[in-house]
Amino acid sequence: MVRLLVIRHGKTDWNLQKKIQGRTDIELCDLGRAELAGKRVPAEFREFAWTASPLKRTRETAELLGAQTLKTEPAIIEMHWGEWEGRTLTDLRATYGAEFKYNEARGINMTPPGGESPADVVARLRPWLRSLEKDTIAVTHKGVIRALKSIAYNWDMTDKAPVKFDWATGHLFDVTAEGGLRPLRINISMESA
């Protein structure tokens, strides 16, 4: 069985401002770089193939964590947040009120205007998961990681996540032939270089 180690990108200015980034191509901020400086993936994963979303923040994170050869993978690009990109949840709740609350309550079927739903993200991830032929590290985004949690834990996103994935840690899964995931270990700390 192929193993997949998933890592969320380091922090950006928009993360610090609590803005929804989506597909907006934002680099890591100084704090994000500082938190990753001198860190590497644990030795047991260093022979895995590296892949990252096409966005700068994931590629930079992978390089800081020791990726020598990095493939970009469109399937793991962040969820398209449409008209909500660049805005905060507080702003969206204030602007759209009950309409926004209703959309949030739809869980995996929540769809931002002009964007995609988490269910759409799951649908684009499954063929990629089935295509993996070797152990892989994927540096990706919160929306993609939530979709992977949905696959692994059969979570419909209408309630609290079944597990909390900490920032700057790795999450290891077995990938099934059907494009499913079986959790092996979560919140694996990065090592000092």
Residue 22 known to bind ligand: no
CB atoms within 10 A of CB 125: 21
Mean pLDDT of the chain: 97
Specify the higher pLDDT residue, 167 or 13: 13
**What pLDDT, in 10s, does the model give residues 55-90?**
999 999 999 999 999 999 999 999 999 999 999 999
Phi-psi region of 66 (alpha: psi -120 to 50; beta: other; left: phi over 0): left
Helix (H) or strand (E) holding 31: helix 30-36
Per annotation, catalytic residue among 60, 73, 78, 116 = 78
Is 9 an active-site residue?
A: yes
Domain encompassing residue 99 = 2-192
Query: pLDDT tens digits for 132-153?
Result: 999 999 999 999 999 999 999 9
Number of domains in the chain: 1
Given 9, 80, 141, 171, the catalytic residue: 9
- In the residue annotation, 78 being an active-site residue is answered as yes
**14 labeled part of a ligand binding site:** yes
Can you tell me the distance from the alpha carbon of 43 to that of 87, in angstroms, rounded to the nearest whole number? Answer: 38
Q: Residue 49 in 3-state DSSP?
A: strand
Q: How far apart are CA 12 and CA 21, in angstroms?
A: 9
The pLDDT tens digits for 87-137 are 999 999 999 999 999 999 999 999 999 999 999 999 999 999 999 999 999
Pair type for strands 181-189 and 39-40: unpaired
Which residues have a Cβ under 8 Å from the Cβ of 68 and sit 6 or more positions away?
50
What span, in angstroms and rounded, lies between the C-alpha atoms of 13 and 5?
25
Taking the model in full, what pTM does it have?
Answer: 0.96
- The reply to whether 171 sits in an annotated binding site is no
CATH number at residue 38: 3.40.50.1240
- On whether 81 is known to bind a ligand per the annotation, the reply is no
Residue type, 192: S
